[in-house]
Amino acid sequence: MEILKVMNLSKIYGKGEAQVNALKNVSFTMQKGEFSAVVGESGSGKSTLLNCIGGLDNPSSGKIILDGKDLFSMKEEERTVFRRRNIGFVFQFFQLVPELSVEQNIVFPILLDYQKPDPESVKEILHVLGLYDRRSHLPGQLSGGQQQRVAIGRALITKPMLILADEPTGNLDSKNAQDVMDLLIKASRHYQQTILMITHNINLTTSVDRVLRISDGVLTDLGGGKNEALS
């Protein structure tokens, strides 16, 4: 089942001589349960691609269809709510809410909907993340690895259509990085979670289903299937 369809996506910054084509007619799709990685050097357009897919940035042209819905045909507030319910984010610097406990951070998207979270689901996620004993701790009382696990829990809690991970291990040591990758893989395999991860670390791509390379705004599929340009 096709979850994500990106069609001729372009993003241009600036004007005239200062114009930068961050994305050049990028098109690709993702299936449900697929774990894809986007690799590329600094300034290649990885984060721009992720931001556009997540609805955080407006593309200059092209479309992003998520579960049959055109993301940028929605108004801003509508897109925010859609993102809250259907897209999970994992950032390099965790971006937890410092005033909320571990448990509150995890259920944050549900609280934003003014809903009460299901205690059983929360408990399960806390156990999976190994954070049950720290559920009342604040982010300032956690290590980096623990904070990133909280962020993953937050991304998973709404069982979103798509999880976008921007350098999720970029701020972690190797052990924690591996733990985080293990969690993401588990989410993908166990929960059939569709994950698109950005990384500059080629080593992390061994566990993913598909690797996409972006260079100067041009996206290329490096595998599982064939090595084809997707721009």
- Under the binding rule (CB under 8 A), the answer on residue 56 touching another protein is yes
Nearer to another protein, 140 or 225 (CB): 140
- Under the binding rule (CB under 8 A), the answer on residue 10 touching another protein is no
Place of tokens 């993401």: 184
Number of residues forming the site for another protein (CB under 8 A): 33
Sign of CA dihedral 70, 162, 2, 67: negative
- Under the binding rule (CB under 8 A), the answer on residue 101 touching another protein is yes
Apex 11 CA angle, 21 and 79, nearest 5? 165
Number of H helices, E strands in the chain: 7, 11
160 — alpha (psi -120 to 50), left (phi > 0) or beta?
beta
Distance, CA of 226 to CA of 108 (rounded, Å): 40
Distance, CA of 106 to CA of 110 (rounded, Å): 9
- Under the binding rule (CB under 8 A), the answer on residue 97 touching another protein is yes
- Under the binding rule (CB under 8 A), the answer on residue 138 touching another protein is yes
Nearer to another protein, 117 or 231 (CB): 117
Nearer to another protein, 28 or 94 (CB): 94
Map the footprint of another protein across residues 62-91, applying CB under 8 A: 76-77, 80-81, 83-85, 87, 89, 91
Stretch that binds another protein, among 105-113, 184-192, 195-203, 208-216 (CB under 8 A): 105-113
Nearer to another protein, 46 or 213 (CB): 46
- Under the binding rule (CB under 8 A), the answer on residue 98 touching another protein is yes
Q: Are 96 and 104 in contact (CB under 8 A)?
A: no
Q: List interacting residues with another protein (CB under 8 A).
A: 47-48, 51, 54, 56-57, 76-77, 80-81, 83-85, 87, 89, 91, 95, 97-101, 104, 108-109, 111-112, 114, 136, 138-140, 154
